[in-house]
Structure 1
Amino acid sequence: SLTAEVGVDDVQATRGSVRFSVTADGTEKVKSPVLGAADPAWKLTADVTGAKYVELVVDDGGDGNGNDHADWGNARFHCGG
């Protein structure tokens, strides 16, 4: 699995909105809600077991990419039991 704490970077005190997703071998595994600058980090978990390709994606939350400084905090792949 892949875990991370995702959100807008603290340098953006009041602006910015982003949405995070994880895709494994072309299949979306998880998508966050749109997160704004004032929102706490969102705990993301994606089952990517057996995947050959994993994509970490950030989009602009639907309102353009101004001030969208996105962070993947403490991102980790977990293997085995």
Structure 2
Amino acid sequence: MPKFNLEKIVYRWRVRAASIGLILAIIFARPDLTSFLTGLGVCFLGLLIRTWSAGHLRKEKELAISGPYQYTRNPLYLG
């Protein structure tokens, strides 16, 4: 009989559970236009920061200290 491993189950289902939560939030939140556009702007800004950070990073090279990395230590997490 296989051993019950809660950590493995949680790891496997975490994205699915978050997706279900996001769908439920969209259905029940009923945001007005102002809050929806504000949220959309924040999401877009985060996407821009992540894209800039990932494009600037040169793996297997020296420590990145320019671009977005001169402003924050971990811009990928910031975005």
State TM-score, norm by structure 2.
0.21
Query: Which of the pair has more CA radius of gyration?
Result: 2
Higher strand share: 1
Q: Which structure has the highest helix share of the two? A: 2
Higher relative contact order (CA 8 A, sep 6+): 1
